[in-house]
Structure 1
Amino acid sequence: MKVGVVGAGSIGLLFAAYLSRKFDVTVYTRTKAQAKEINTHGILVKKGAGRKEYLVNALPFGEWQAREDLSIITVKQYQLAGILAKINQWSALPKNLLFLQNGMAHLQQIETILNGNLFVGSVEHGATRENFNTVSHNGMGVTNVAVFRGDLQPLRQFIAAAPKDFPFVYQEQYNQMLVKKLIVNAVINPLTAILEVNNGALIDNFYYYQVAEKLFKEITLILALKNESEYFQQVLDICRKTADNRSSMLKDIEANRVTEIDAILGYILAEAKKQKKEAPLCQSLYLLIKGKETNKGGIVA
């Protein structure tokens, strides 16, 4: 089975490396320089004290035509426009696409793809890209996947053939799966990015914990969640499990990159507006992150 991984950030490198053990993988990079580095030296995965190199074929994104049996789209939500523009230029549309973006704002974007099987997923792994071909695997997890539109069978075949120590778990309902990840991201990411703390600080610090709890309650009212305690327990469990990790949003701020705040809190604020509900905490955190992006040079105001 041939697999294409579109995007060579932390998640793209991690997936390309692990999946290359079972599949014929090609990773598509933003630059020719990164593709050359991967083709020359492979992908180096650092996990604890271990180091392992994986030989993976790499091509610049301009050469992606989705001819593989499955294309896994790992770019961030705000980068999807370029991906979709390319897809919509093709006369023959790709067969199977798996989208691994945070938040839920990307669902409206991928609806514009007219044909093919569309899958979505949520990633529980922790990873940090250190350079063009090196990724640190900071936290082991699973990748939950579901059918957004189309035939389930290709996804089932992929799950069955994937490495057992890098598992993919099928979920019946994509909406519930993404909501769970959205809530975790909406609580942990903006707070850690603003406070500039590791994930564990949100439960270790009494005052930070109270803010996280209030933010969670505001989000549950907007999303009309049932079983609130289960969702909040999931947030706490992730904070404990990744206590020493820095959230992706914090790492984006530190690296002067645009964050995924629009895909996460932006989506929740849009839902609040539809329902004519107040969301003062979400609104304040959203604006603070946008302010940090501007100050860091990640985006032009």
Structure 2
Amino acid sequence: MKIAIIGGGAVGLLFSSYLQEENDVILYTRSEDQSESIRTNGIVRKNGEESICLPINVRPISEWDENEIELVILCVKEYMLEEIVKDLSFPKNLPLLFVQNGMGHLSLLNKINTRSLFIGSVEHGALRINNHSVSHTGIGVTKLAILRSVEGDLWILDELVLQSIKNFPAQFEQDYMFMLTKKLVVNAVINPLTAILGVTNGSLLTNKYYQMLFEQLFDEVCLALSLDPHAYYENLVHVCKNTAKNESSMLKDVKNDRRTEIDAILGYVLEEAKRKDIEAPLTLAFYHCIKGKEIKGERM
């Protein structure tokens, strides 16, 4: 399959390195510097002590070309989506797969005029080391679901699932809203708490005071989203334990003075709470904490 991947962050590099093994991948980066680094060095993927280097076709996004592409995977942050969708004007017959955190981008996706639009939920741990290197810090699964599609494009998801390998599995999910909601709950609890406290994911369960915040925020998120806590708590704890040594993506963003995805995560929860006239004081407080850290980063 000929796949275009947009975004040279940790997830974009991870997807490119694995999918290049069975497909013809073109990676599009925001900068020419990153494209040049990958052209020179290939993509270096580290799995623990092991390291593999894969050559790959790479271009800056300014050289976008949709000809002969069978699937586009958008691996950029949620807040970058609107500009990319506007600038690239994807043709209606080009299938798109979005793999963002949160659910704030759903309103944008529903406005995109393409015949097949797929959504992914990425549960892998990944850390970009430099412009051409990524560390696969936690093996998870990529869940794939359909927002809308024509029957003739469904082979694409089948092919991605069939290509699953031990360290990069993929599976199909029937209900995209349930899939995204499970991921949202995980992101809404783990990401802001670890980013504010400056701790790894597992500390939220091993420190009794952090665990109290963990459970209180979880309860409030479920209330705001009208969710049955019993249907989501076990998955949240499982992810937290499975990624115990990892730093969340939001903590990494805060440490590197980058904009976070807090608006797509807790911002979405707050919008739902407001719509239902539900008080969510913890969610609002943690949202403001992260926004404050973003402003601090902008001033440095």
Q: Answer whether TM exceeds 0.5 for this pair.
A: yes
Q: How much has 1:196 moved relative to structure 2?
A: 0.3
Q: How much has 1:93 moved relative to structure 2?
A: 3.2
For residues 200 and 191 of structure 2, the distance between their equivalents in structure 1, rounded to whole angstroms, comes to 10
Aligned equivalent of 1:189, options 184, 188, 191? 191
For residues 98 and 74 of structure 2, the distance between their equivalents in structure 1, rounded to whole angstroms, comes to 5
One-letter identity of the residue aligned with 1:78: Y
Aligned position for 1:178? 180
Aligned position for 1:294? 295
Q: How much has 1:162 moved relative to structure 2?
A: 2.1
Q: How much has 1:63 moved relative to structure 2?
A: 1.8
Q: Which segments of structure 1 move beyond 6 Å, counting only runs of 4 or more?
A: none
What TM-score do the two structures reach when normalised by structure 1? 0.95
One-letter identity of the residue aligned with 1:175: M
Aligned position for 2:256? 255
Within 5 Å, which residues of 2 pair with 1:186-265?
Answer: 186-226=188-228, 228-265=229-266
Aligned position for 1:132? 131
For residues 145 and 298 of structure 1, the distance between their equivalents in structure 2, rounded to whole angstroms, comes to 39
For residues 163 and 234 of structure 1, the distance between their equivalents in structure 2, rounded to whole angstroms, comes to 22
SS of the aligned residue for 2:127 comes to strand
Cα root mean square deviation, aligned: 1.4
- CA distance change for structure 1 residues 231 and 41 in 2, over 3 Å: closer, same or farther? same
CA contact (8 A) 1:77 1:260 kept: yes
CA contact (8 A) 1:74 1:100 kept: yes
Structure 2 stretches lacking a partner, 5+ long: none
Q: How much has 1:210 moved relative to structure 2?
A: 0.6
One-letter identity of the residue aligned with 1:178: L
Aligned position for 1:162? 163
For residues 201 and 167 of structure 1, the distance between their equivalents in structure 2, rounded to whole angstroms, comes to 27
Q: How much has 1:298 moved relative to structure 2?
A: 7.4
1:170-207 deviation digits (Å, cap 9, x = unpaired): 10010000000000000000000000000000000001
Aligned position for 1:93? 92
Aligned position for 1:77? 78
Q: Comparing 234-243 with 139-148, which one deviates more in the overlay?
A: 234-243
For residues 225 and 157 of structure 1, the distance between their equivalents in structure 2, rounded to whole angstroms, comes to 30
CA contact (8 A) 2:221 2:269 kept: yes
Instruction: State the identity as a percent.
Output: 45
Aligned position for 2:42? 42
Q: How much has 1:295 moved relative to structure 2?
A: 1.1
Q: How much has 1:55 moved relative to structure 2?
A: 1.1
SS of the aligned residue for 2:292 comes to helix
SS of the aligned residue for 1:297 comes to helix
Q: How much has 1:297 moved relative to structure 2?
A: 1.6
Aligned position for 2:109? 110
Q: How much has 1:106 moved relative to structure 2?
A: 0.5
CA contact (8 A) 2:71 2:97 kept: yes
Aligned position for 2:65? 65
What TM-score do the two structures reach when normalised by structure 2? 0.95
CA contact (8 A) 1:218 1:279 kept: yes
Structure 1 stretches lacking a partner, 5+ long: none
One-letter identity of the residue aligned with 1:201: S
Q: Comparing 10-19 with 229-238, which one deviates more in the overlay?
A: 229-238
Query: How many residue pairs get matched?
Result: 296
Aligned position for 1:28? 28
